[in-house]
Amino acid sequence: MFISSENAPPSLKDFTLVMPAVAVGNVAQLAVDLLVSTLNMKLVGYIHTDCLIPMAGNNPYSTCREDAEELHTPAEVYTAPELKLAVLQIRAPIIQKKSKKFRQLIVSWIKTSGFSRTVILSSSHAYQRDDQQMKGTPLRYLVTPSLLKVSADALKELGWREMEQLPAFPGLTEANAESRLSIPGGGITKGLYTDSCAEDLPLAVILLFCSEGDNIPDAFTLVNHLNDWLHLLDNPSQEPNKWKIPPSWSLLFGSGIPPAMF
């Protein structure tokens, strides 16, 4: 359930919501971190639920000593009202048995908040691509019919590649072979997309094929791709370091090395 951090609940009506799916390499979560820290977004509330594994930490986006001591929870909502942008950051894995419940919670929250559109950032296992998917860009998109109605032109102009439907039974070459949508390693991405299609929600999925490892470059790729559509930052590609890396990204590969080793 959404709990406001201020006394008055924030107005999120007609905002664009960007949220990550907890997926391969945590690429989407890293990309959302870049959005929050670069656009200086403000915390407006929490999604308090039993579907996420509890965790807590100090301010992941602190810029100075004064704001470092500030408690942050597994799922938080940030806004940039001047951009009409809201972001839901998820910092913990979903408890496996509760992923369906979590999807329902998110879908009903999206409905009650009145977001004009929702963008799910996600990733999928690179090693499970089929032949056609291995050619060209690793980025894909998906839109629900209700968003396609309003954004068809914009998407056409961007020239993005839609996520391919894969044959349900590879190898069978019948003319009417069944095909299905498959996003391996994408967590709740596919479920959220199909739920939104059924509920007629305007929602898009932007995903990237990748593998586990140092996923920081992937996060930049994904956030730049999102920016091509939403224009949150002007020309970030000209100035490659315009996205601000938050301090919480430090020590991604563990602590310092003992000096006695050398």
Partner 1 sequence: MATFFGEVLSVYSRAVEEDDEELEENEEDEQIRRELEEKREVHLHWIPEVSDSLKSGNKLPCSEFVLAVGHNAARFLSVYVLTSANWDKVGHASVWNERSRAVAGQTSKESACVFYRHKENPTVLMCQVTSHIAEDQLFQWTEKVFDCLQHRELNVTVLSDSSVADYKTADYLCTSATPFLRSLHTGTFSGKPVCQSLEQPNIVTGLSAAVLNHCQVHRIATVVYQCYSDILGPDSVTMETYKPALTKLGKSIQLASSPNTDVLRKFIQTTEIQSNLYI
Residues at the contact surface with partner 1, assessed by CB under 8 A: 3, 22-24, 26, 46, 48-50, 53-60, 62, 68-71, 73-74, 93-100, 123, 183-191, 212-213, 247-259
The pair of three-digit structure tokens given for residue 71, joined into one six-digit string? 């408690």
Torsion of CA 177, 178, 179, 181, to 10 degrees: -170
Angstrom distance (rounded) from CA 177 to CA 170: 9
Question: For partner 1, which is the closer residue by CB, 4 or 237?
Answer: 4
Least distance in angstroms from the C-beta of 237 to partner 1: 28
Nearer to partner 1, 85 or 120 (CB): 120
DSSP reduced 3-state for 64 = coil
Q: Which is nearer to partner 1, 81 or 247 (CB)?
A: 247
User: Does residue 104 contact residue 192 with C-beta atoms inside 8 Å?
Assistant: no
Measured from the CB atom, is 72 or 225 closer to partner 1? Answer: 72
The residue with tokens 């020309």 is 235
Min dist CB 87 to partner 1, Å, is: 18
Angle of helix 27-38 versus helix 216-230 axis, rounded to 10 = 60
- Min dist CB 178 to partner 1, Å, is 15
Cα torsion 17, 37, 78, 198 to 10°: value is 20
Cβ 214 to partner 1 shortest distance, Å: 9
Nearer to partner 1, 212 or 239 (CB): 212
> Cβ 262 to partner 1, closest distance in Å?
11
